């Protein structure tokens, strides 16, 4: 029977309730509540110091919270030592034993649990094959690339068949091409094994492309937890709206109930409204450019099918617009343009107190 025939114990439900952790006067977690569904991959995303890594370390047992519960299938694991939690963690620094081969690194946890040698080596070989490293078992870490070392670390974490897999920015030390390949592999394995996974990253593209849901944190609190599409299209707060993706703030004026006029166009307001002069939040793809006008293109950057252009409006406001590359040639830097928002609901920057 193979590792795939005998998958990890899948479907653990994780509930975080009222988690608090302070370091002196610095509050890292301020009453965090979060649910992770069985078999879900949840990404924790936020700026440096938001508490996402502290939350992960509390889940792993490397930090003790000041208050709160971590319920894994209904059991509070806060009092349980890290080595008895039935969780596994993959670090950004690989943390492989340099004097052990790939096979022995993967089998290390099994050896600590007194699994027989033959079974250890068989399971390690199966897992190395699962992560695309068949035939590399006798190599030492220094003989492997960064991406290969991280695959070994992932295989080692899966060897114990944990109920909860924790990933601490595991791709940040890799180059862009390897990072893209490995994040697809991690997602494939997670879906194949059905293991509940919490993934910490500072990379928005990773979070939005890999996760079932993304939890955006700020100042130790949860701002919003939703699917990538919902976060991008229907942010719950101004912080989320401006943190996830690129957002323009454009002067506008409320001219009626839930209607704002911006760049000469009237648009419906989604979410809390305002009065008088406001700042309207517009994504780069929500702006259309046409040749001629009183705005000017200041720079452009080729992004494959789209070109990202920086435009200065007549009032001096700088905005970013994504336009189809096949139309961008006629809108080179220095060109006079007209900027028009597409007809879709917009958010106001002042809706949650943002300046």
d(CA 23, CA 78): 18
Tell me how crowded residue 166 is: count the other CB atoms within 10 A of its CB.
24
pLDDT for res 193:
87
Residues 186 and 321 in one domain: no
Q: Are residues 80 and 164 in the same domain?
A: yes
Same domain, yes or no: 88 and 232: yes
Confidence (pLDDT) at 2: 44
User: What's the distance, Cα to Cα, between the start and end of the chain in Å?
Assistant: 60
Same domain (yes/no): 219, 337: no
CATH of the domain at 334: 2.40.50.100
Alpha-carbon distance values, 212 to 37, 110, 122, 170, 209 (Å): 10, 30, 32, 18, 9
80 and 212 housed in the same domain: yes
Residue 317 backbone class (left: φ over 0; alpha: ψ -120 to 50; beta: rest): beta
Same domain, 230 and 255: no
pLDDT score of 113: 84
Number of domains observed in the structure of the chain: 2
Last residue in a domain, options 240, 269, 298: 240
Residue 31: closest CA among 77, 72, 74, 68: 68
Examine the domain organization and report whether 68 and 134 are in the same domain. yes
> Domain boundary residue among 240, 269, 295?
240
In angstroms, rounded to a whole number, what is the distance separating the alpha carbons of residues 69 and 354? Answer: 32
Burial letters for 91-124: b for 16+ Cβ neighbours within 10 Å, e otherwise?
bbebebeeeebbbbbbbbbbeeeebeeeebbebb
CA dihedral 184, 186, 187, 191 (to 10 degrees): 140
Domain enclosing residue 152, as ranges: 14-240
pLDDT value at residue 10: 59
- Domain membership of residue 4 (yes or no) is no
Q: What is the pLDDT along the chain (355 residues), one digit of tens a residue?
A: 444 444 444 579 999 999 999 999 999 999 999 999 999 999 999 999 999 999 999 999 999 999 999 999 999 999 999 988 889 988 877 788 999 999 999 999 888 888 888 888 888 898 898 888 888 989 999 999 888 888 898 888 888 889 999 999 888 877 777 788 888 888 988 988 899 999 999 889 899 999 999 999 999 999 999 999 999 988 888 889 889 989 999 999 999 888 999 999 999 998 777 788 899 999 999 999 999 999 999 999 998 999 999 999 999 999 999 999 988 888 889 999 999 999 998 888 755 544 3
CATH number at residue 222: 3.40.50.300
Interval 284-304: pLDDT, tens:
999 999 999 999 999 999 989
The answer to whether residues 208 and 232 touch, using CB atoms and an 8 Å cutoff, is yes
Number of residues written out for the chain = 355
Residue 268 shares a structural domain with residue 330: yes
Quick one: pLDDT at residue 350? 56
CA distance 26 to 345: 38
* The pLDDT of residue 25: 92
Residues 152 and 113 in one domain: yes
Q: What are phi and psi of 74, to 5 degrees?
A: 85, -10
Model pTM score: 0.84
- Answer whether residue 3 is part of any domain: no
């Amino acid at each position: 029977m193979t590792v795939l025939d005998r998958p990890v114990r899948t479907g653990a439900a994780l509930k975080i309730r009222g988690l608090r952790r302070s370091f002196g006067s610095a509050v890292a977690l301020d009453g965090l509540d979060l649910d992770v569904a069985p078999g879900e991959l949840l990404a924790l995303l936020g700026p440096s110091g938001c508490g996402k890594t502290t939350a992960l370390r509390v889940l792993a047992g490397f930090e003790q919270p000041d208050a709160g519960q971590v319920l894994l299938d209904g059991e509070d694991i806060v009092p349980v030592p890290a080595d008895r939690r039935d969780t596994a963690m993959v670090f950004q620094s690989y943390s492989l034993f340099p004097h052990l081969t790939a096979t022995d690194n993967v089998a290390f946890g099994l050896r600590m649990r007194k699994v027989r040698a033959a079974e250890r080596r068989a399971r390690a070989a199966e897992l190395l094959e699962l992560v695309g490293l068949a035939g590399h078992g006798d190599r030492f870490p220094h003989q492997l690339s960064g991406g290969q070392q991280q695959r070994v670390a992932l295989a080692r974490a899966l060897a114990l068949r944990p109920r909860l897999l924790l990933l601490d920015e595991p791709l940040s030390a890799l180059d862009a091409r390897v990072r893209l390949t490995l994040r697809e592999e991690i997602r494939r394995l997670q879906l194949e094994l059905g293991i509940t996974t919490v993934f910490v990253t500072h990379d928005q593209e990773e979070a939005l492309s890999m996760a079932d849901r993304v939890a955006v944190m700020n100042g130790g609190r949860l701002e919003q937890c939703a699917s990538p599409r919902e976060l991008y299209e229907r942010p719950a707060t101004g912080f989320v709206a401006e943190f996830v993706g690129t957002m323009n703030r454009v002067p506008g004026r409320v001219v009626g109930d839930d209607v704002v006029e911006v760049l000469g166009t009237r648009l419906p307001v989604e979410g809390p409204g305002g009065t008088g002069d406001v700042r309207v939040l517009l994504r780069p793809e929500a702006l259309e450019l046409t040749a001629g006008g009183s705005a000017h293109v200041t720079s452009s950057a080729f992004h494959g099918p789209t070109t990202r252009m920086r435009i200065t409006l007549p009032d001096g406001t700088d905005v970013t617009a994504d336009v189809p590359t096949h139309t961008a040639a006629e809108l080179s830097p220095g060109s006079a343009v007209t900027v028009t928002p597409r007809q879709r609901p917009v958010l106001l920057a002042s809706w949650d107190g943002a300046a």
